[in-house]
Amino acid sequence: MGPWRNGRSGPRPVDRPERRGGMRFVHSGRTFADRRRFLVAAPTGAAALFLLAAVLPGSPGQLRWESWVGLLVAAANVVLGLVARPRWSWVPPFAAASLAAALALALAGASAGSDADMYLVWFPPLCAYVALVTAPMAVLVIAMITGALVAGVAAGGDLGQTAGPMSAALSTVVAGAVVKGLFRAGLLQSHADPLTHLANRAGTLEGGETAVAEIQAEGREAILILVDINRFHEINDALGHVGGDRLLQIIARTLSGLRPIPAFVGRAGGDEFALVFRGMPVPSTVAMAASRPGAPLPVPTAAETKRRRVLGRRVLRQIQGPFQVCGVDVEVDASVGIAVAPRDSTTMSGLLTCADSALLRAKRVGESVGLWDPGITGVRPEEIALYAQLRTAITRGELVLYYQPLQSACSGGIVGAEALLRWHHPTRGLLAPGVFLPVAERSPLIADLTRWVLDEALRQCAAWADEGLRLPVSVNLSARMLVLDDLPQVVAGSLAAHGLASDVLTLEITESALVTQPTRAATMLSELRTQGVSLSLDDFGTGYSSMEILKTLPFDEVKIDRGFVTDARGSLPDAAIVRSVLDLGHRLGLRVVGEGIEDERTLAMMIDLGCDLLQGEAISVPLPAAKMSELLRSRAAARPSAPPTTLPPTTLPPTTLPASERAPAEWAGGLPRGGLTDGGKVPGEGRAGGETAGGGVAGGVGSAEAGRPDSLPTGDEAGAGPGGRGQQQGVPARSGRRIEGRPPSRS
C-alpha cells in the first residue's frame, strides 16, 4: 500500500457485502480541509461502542452523540497542539500494530450482522488515528496514536455535514482524554511520547523511516533536520520541570505547524526534535554513487548547500519565540544539524547519526546550522555496517584473491601476477575492492587485510611452485601498513613460513601512501629492499612528488597510471606522458609497467612505445587461483622444448621518436608496429618488443632467438648474472624456493 497523491474522486462509502468481514484500503477522495484518507471495511457496528468504552469514561449504553461530543469539547482546555492542512501518508509499522490490537479488542465484543466503516489515517507531522463509524448512529470515535485530533469523516461524508458546528472544534483541538485513555490501554507507551504526544525515539526511528522511504521512492531528497534546544537545562532550573515540560510542548506544537509542512515530526530524545522534509529531485550522479558503499560522492553544489541552510534557519526562526511559559516570556536559542538522503544515508537511523555529528560540529564552531559531510566522521553510516561485516569476513573465510597476469612485452610470456582482493559477501555476492577497501583504508582494519593478502598470496605462490609453475606475485601495500614498525618482520616471516625466497614478491606502493610520513616510509622501503623484496611505485603520475620519490627511494619498478594508458591512443597529452614516463623509467634503470590495457590496439601501442610489462583485460581479466593455474599450465604446454637462453640484463636507451609519429594523424589508427626504430630491431641493444642481435632485453626475460616467446630462465640462470636477484646491491643469494621469470630490476 502506498500513499494516495492528488486524488480528486468523490466520497465512496464501503458498501460491498463481499468485502465485509475483512479489511481493505480505499481512496475516498478529497473532502474536509482538502485532506485525503484511507478506508478500511470492518464487520461490526458494536466495535465502535466497544472501543469507545475502552478509551473514554462511562459505559457504551449511556453514551450518545451529545454526551461524548460534549466530553471532547471539554477536552479543549488541555489543548496540546493545532493541526492545519497536514500531509497524508501511509500508516507506519508501529501505528498499524497498535490499531490492529485495538481493533482486535473491539471485534471481540462485536455482534453479528452489524456494519461499520473504519478509517485509518497517518499524519506524518503529528498523529495517526482510527475512526470507527456506525452507519445508523453516525457516531465518530477517535483513537489517537501520536497526538492531534483532526476532523474525521462519518459514513463517507464530511464531518461537518453530520456533526454540524462541532466539526471546526474537532479539527483544531487535541483530545487529551482520548490520548490518556490509549496510554492506559497500553497501546502507545512503546512508540509515543506522553509529554508532547509526538513519536518518541522508537517511534521516530520507525515513523521517520517510513517518511524517508516514501520521499526517496518519489525520487526526491529526504532532508532530516535535528533540532537541539541550547541551554535547556538552564530553563529547567529557572522555571522548574513544569515550565520546561510546557516549553517542550509548545515547541512540539510549533514544529508540527511549520511551513513547508514536515513529512514527519518526532521527539528524538530529551530536548531534541527530528523533522523530515521533502527536498529537490535527487541528481542522478548522487543516486548512483549512494547505491555503492565506499564510492566517492559528488560535492554538494553551492545552491544545494544554500537551500539547506535556508531551511534550517527557517526552522530556527519559527521556534525562536518569545513564548509565554509560566508567566515568563522565553526566547529559545537552538541549533540544527542537517543530513540528506540518499547523499548522506538512505535510512532514518543513518540520517540521525549524520545530523547529530553535524549538530555537534556546529556547536563547537559556534554556528547555529551544521551540514553533515564525510569529513566530520570520515565514514558514512552504511560504511559503518560494511566495516562491521568486513571485520568478520576474514574469520568466516569470505575473502578470496584473484590474480591478474603480467605479460612480458618482449617474450609474450606471463612473468608475474598481481594479487587482487575480492569479498564473497553473504548477501551482496562478489564485491570488488573498490566497494569495501576505501572503508578499510580509513581504519586499522586495513593492516589486518594486508597481512591476510600477503600471506594468502605467498601461500598460493608456494602451491604453484610445488606444481612446477613459476609465478612471482605482487601485493599492494597500504599507507597504514607502510609505517608499521614490524613491517619488514611481517614480510620476512610470511616468506619463511612458506619456504620462499624474497625475490618472488613485489610490493606495490602508491604515491599517496608515501606522502603522509615520507621519512618513516623511506626507512621501511630501504629495509624491505635490503631483504631483496622488489618495490613498485603504483599509479605513477597521479601524485605531486613523483620525481622526488623516484630519485630518493629504492624502487625497482614504476607502473604508469591506467588513466594515462587508457587515453593515450586518443589524447596527445596522455600519449606524451606515457612516452615521458617510459623514457624516464628506463633512464633510471627501472622496469615500466603499463596497466589498464583494455584492447588489442592499446596493447600494440604500448609494445611499440617500449613498455616492459603489460597488464589489463586485453591480456587477461583477474582470475581465481584455479583458473590462473589452468592458464599457466596451458602456457607451459605450448612452450618450446629447447633449453632457455639467459640474456644479460641491460638498460633500455632513451627512445627517439620521429617527428612524423607525433602528428595527430598517426594516432587515428594507432601507432604502427615497430615504427619507433628501424623495423623494431636495434642492433647490439636490447629493446622490449623487438628482436635483438647480440644484446639484452630491457625489462623482460626471454629468448634472443625469434620464435621463442615463452622461454623462462631457471632459478640458477636468473640469479647468476649481474642483474639477477642473487647479486643485487651486495645481497647474497638467498635460500628457499626461487621462482624466476619477472624481469630484472636495477642493480
Q: What CATH number is associated with residue 687? A: 3.20.20.450
Residues 371 and 391 in one domain: no
- Give the domain-ending residue among 378, 395, 421: 378
Residues 173 and 304 in one domain: no
Task: Give the integer Cα–Cα distance in Å for 474 and 689.
Answer: 23
Task: Give the integer Cα–Cα distance in Å for 572 and 578.
Answer: 10
Q: Choose among 182, 186, 105, 101: nearest CA to 147.
A: 182
Number of domains comprising the chain: 3
In a domain, 255, yes or no: yes
Residues 238 and 158 in one domain: no
Residues 357 and 394 in one domain: no
- Per the CB < 8 A criterion, the answer to whether 116 and 133 are in contact is yes
Residues 122 and 144 in one domain: yes
Q: Three-class SS of residue 207?
A: helix
In a domain, 269, yes or no: yes
In a domain, 191, yes or no: no
pLDDT for residue 70: 33
Residues 479 and 581 in one domain: yes
Residues 446 and 562 in one domain: yes
| Structural domain containing residue 414 | 387-730
Q: What CATH number is associated with residue 239? A: 3.30.70.270
pLDDT for residue 504: 93
Residues 6+ apart with CB under 8 A from 98: 145, 182, 187, 188, 191
Residues 373 and 401 in one domain: no
Measure the N-to-C terminal CA separation of the chain; round to a whole number of Å: 72
Residues 463 and 559 in one domain: yes
Residues 70 and 24 in one domain: yes
Q: For 130, left (φ over 0), alpha (ψ -120 to 50), or beta?
A: beta
Q: Choose among 236, 351, 262: nearest CA to 315.
A: 262
Residues 395 and 334 in one domain: no
- Give the domain-ending residue among 134, 159, 184: 184
- Give the domain-ending residue among 139, 158, 184: 184
In a domain, 91, yes or no: yes
pTM value is 0.45
Half-sphere exposure of 9 (CA within 13 A, CB side): 11
In a domain, 736, yes or no: no
Exposed, middle or buried by CB within 10 Å (0-12, 13-18, 19+), for 679?
A: exposed
> Which stretches in the chain have pLDDT values below 70?
1-191, 290-296, 374-384, 442-444, 483, 516-517, 541-546, 638-747
Task: Give the integer Cα–Cα distance in Å for 256 and 146.
Answer: 12
Q: Choose among 415, 400, 411: nearest CA to 615.
A: 415
Q: Phi, psi at residue 273, to the nearest 5°? A: -125, 145
Compute how many other C-beta atoms are within 10 angstroms of the C-beta atom of residue 126: 30
**DSSP β-ladder status, 116-122 and 128-134:** antiparallel
pLDDT for residue 129: 37
In a domain, 445, yes or no: yes
In a domain, 393, yes or no: yes
In a domain, 194, yes or no: no
Residues 28 and 63 in one domain: yes
- Per the CB < 8 A criterion, the answer to whether 429 and 374 are in contact is no
Q: Which residues pair with 121 in a beta bridge?
A: 129
- Per the CB < 8 A criterion, the answer to whether 209 and 347 are in contact is yes
